[in-house]
Amino acid sequence: MGLTAAELRARAVPWPKGNYYEDFTPGREFDHHWGRTLTESDNILFSTLTSFYNPLYFNCAYARAEGYERGVVNPMLLFLTVFGLSVEDLSEAGVAFLGVDELTFHGPVSPGDTVMARSTVRSARRSSKDPRQAIVTWQTEGFDQDGHLVIDFLRTNLVNSREGPS
């Protein structure tokens, strides 16, 4: 017979996730794994659910008339996808998202394109309010399958320190 839920929980070993302040040395780069192919279905569903009714993002004939042979991915879908690719490495063990600055879209992405992400630590300092936490800023870049930069932004989070106050 199998183990009970209580027995399984008692045997479980916590698997640490994410990184901490001490892991974020300025200049350190994170090549985020996986990547994500953005499909036409993703684009139409996202645009519809967010009431983003620009026909460029869901009307192929309109997009072609505007010079985009394969259509255009909603830029907010691109941003959120690249942001999401970075979470496991940067903020999964974090405390709070503090904001995005200097968001730049460098060119259109089409349905069927695959985006990858890379982040570089720009700054990291202990919080003046709670030295067990820190404020970290990364520059995150998104690239298409051909290696072209399609988006970049600065992202800041409050993260925990592994060591507590120094």
CA pair distance 80, 22, nearest whole angstrom? 26
CA pair distance 77, 116, nearest whole angstrom? 14
For residue 120, the cross-strand partners are: 29, 139
Task: Identify whether the C-beta of residue 79 lies closer than 8 Å to the C-beta of residue 103.
Answer: yes
pLDDT at 162 over 90: no
Ordered domains of the chain (ranges, CATH): 21-160 (3.10.129.10)
Work out the average pLDDT over 83-87.
96
CA distances in angstroms from 109 to 32, 57, 79, listed in the order given = 19, 11, 11
CA pair distance 38, 110, nearest whole angstrom? 8
Helix (H) or strand (E) holding 126: strand 114-126
pLDDT digits (tens, 9 = 90+) for 92-151: 988 999 999 999 999 999 999 999 999 999 999 999 999 899 999 999 999 999 999 999
pLDDT digits (tens, 9 = 90+) for 21-72: 999 999 999 999 889 999 999 999 999 999 998 999 989 899 999 999 989 9
Helix (H) or strand (E) holding 124: strand 114-126
pLDDT level of residue 164 (50, 70, 90 thresholds): low
The pLDDT, as a whole number, for residue 2 is 84
What's the pTM? Answer: 0.88
